[in-house]
Amino acid sequence: MSARPWSVPPCRATIVVAGVVASAAACTPIQRAPEATASGPRPGGWLDAVTAARVARNPPLPPVPPDPTNRWADDAAAAHLGHLLFFDVGLSATQTVNCATCHAPAYGFSDRRALAVGVGTGTRHSMTVLNAAHQRWFTWDGRADTLWSQATQPFESPAEMATPRATVLAHVLEDPELLEAWTRAFGGPPAVATRNEVDASFAQLGKAIAAYERRLVTGPSAYDRWWTRRAAGDPRADEELTDDQRRGLALFFGKANCFQCHHGPNFSDGEFHMLGLPEPDGGPPRDPGRYAVIDRVRTDPMNAAGPHSDDPRGPIAQVSASLARSPDRWGEFRTPSLRNVAETPPYMHAGQFASLEDVVRFYSTLDGAVALDHHRESVLVRLDLTARERRDLVAFLGALTGTAPPMPWGDAPERRRPAPDPDARNPGH
């Protein structure tokens, strides 16, 4: 492994897989996955009892959890409005960018760029919004504590859509189809007479988009079918996975320790870790990640405790209010889900790696790795996976690809006026 001037002798740490984090590059305390469960795939043959107990902690996705902060979370009319808004380029300053610019259905609701490109160019890779309703925090740094709060943020971001909220709402009022859908969802047009009304209507807009995004749930993957059949005692369950996928599964829950941070139905602990990833330009880490947004989460009027939340004293609000800004958080990023990860290259928060093969190779060799925070520096201990083990791990990650969200949610809606060709907005894809 090549040495870096800001690196110090290694400490023991577990691995990460895909961009996607894994257990913790800075030897910081992490949430450990429980080792036992009462149900799940039955051990036997190639699946030993220890691995089976760990696999049991990663079952198929359950139904989307409720969001008490959004009274319209499961409202069909609000989801229809959100569907229209998600794909409407008229909400951007240039009339060329919409949510699907960075979250395109054809690319697993991501964009296959290293860095997001909207009105300008961002500083991070676009995360998929598939299965986002199963997350606790949103965006790489967790700057939003609800799905609807996150949905409001791109509109006024200079690099994304660069449109003031009042202008966004004016577009809704001027578009007959949007206005009709808004009125059906909320009982009347967006109120915009005062600043408070604009803010409240803007929150409603975010809640409608969140209601749509809650429908973006993937169907069963090969892994899910295997898990369900094996748990039921089906002697032919293993036919759902190829030989290399089964070997990769054993690595994932064994030697590679990926399950330590990628546990749970969504293959994510939902927490934040400092990984020591190389910067795209080869320099030291500069993105403060979670550290920079703690105060923002606590004070954002659009947060779960704010005036626009429908559950301002609920558990989500209480957790956000208790956040503490500590230097230990510097450079930490959220563990993404591994579901459908094979569809969303490149990987890591800055798109540092072009393929899953590159990611697994990095964590096998740790070539160029650094680990830096304000209290200590460390590097990961490499796994030294064989070429076949790397291939098997990548194969298993492919087994986590589920079916696309159901129509009509999984693609652009039919509009009374034609929508621009998304490929024309995204040259180079």
Confidence at residue 91, expressed as pLDDT on a 0 to 100 scale: 98
Q: For residues 5 and 212, which has the higher predicted lDDT (pLDDT)? A: 212
Confidence at residue 349, expressed as pLDDT on a 0 to 100 scale: 95
**Domains assigned to the chain:** 1-61+218-289+330-398 (1.10.760.10), 76-212 (1.10.760.10)
Confidence at residue 421, expressed as pLDDT on a 0 to 100 scale: 52
Please check the confidence at residue 29 and state whether its pLDDT lies above 80. no
Give dist(CA 77, CA 74) in Å, integer. 9
Please check the confidence at residue 419 and state whether its pLDDT lies above 60. no
Please check the confidence at residue 16 and state whether its pLDDT lies above 60. no
Q: How confident is the model at residue 383 (pLDDT cuts 50, 70, 90)?
A: confident
Give dist(CA 38, CA 328) in Å, integer. 36
Give dist(CA 271, CA 259) in Å, integer. 13
Q: How confident is the model at residue 347 (pLDDT cuts 50, 70, 90)?
A: very high
Give dist(CA 117, CA 161) in Å, integer. 10
Lowest mean pLDDT among 29-38, 50-59, 144-153, 400-409: 29-38
Residue range 141-189, pLDDT digits in tens: 999 999 999 999 999 999 999 999 999 999 999 999 999 999 999 999 9
Give dist(CA 18, CA 126) in Å, integer. 14
Q: What is the mean pLDDT of residues 238-251?
A: 98
Confidence at residue 220, expressed as pLDDT on a 0 to 100 scale: 98
Confidence at residue 366, expressed as pLDDT on a 0 to 100 scale: 86
Confidence at residue 68, expressed as pLDDT on a 0 to 100 scale: 98
Q: How confident is the model at residue 423 (pLDDT cuts 50, 70, 90)?
A: low
Please check the confidence at residue 1 and state whether its pLDDT lies above 80. no
Residue range 48-91, pLDDT digits in tens: 999 999 999 999 999 999 999 999 999 999 999 999 999 999 99
Lowest mean pLDDT among 229-233, 290-294, 364-368: 364-368
Contact 105, 411 (CB under 8 A): yes
The sign of the torsion formed by the CA atoms of 334, 86, 70, 156 equals: positive
> What does the block give as tokens for 279?
């910067």
Query: Residues of the chain with pLDDT > 90: what percent?
Result: 77
Confidence at residue 22, expressed as pLDDT on a 0 to 100 scale: 38
pTM score, two decimals? 0.88
Q: What is the mean pLDDT of residues 104-110?
A: 98
- Quote the mean pLDDT of the chain: 88
Confidence at residue 282, expressed as pLDDT on a 0 to 100 scale: 80
- Which residues, including other chains, have CB under 8 Å from residue 260's CB and lie 6 or more apart? 14, 22, 23, 24, 30, 32, 33
Distances from the Cα of 101 to the Cα of 2, 93, 154, 322, 422, angstroms: 37, 14, 11, 35, 7
Residue range 281-330, pLDDT digits in tens: 888 888 999 999 999 999 999 999 999 999 999 999 999 999 999 888 99
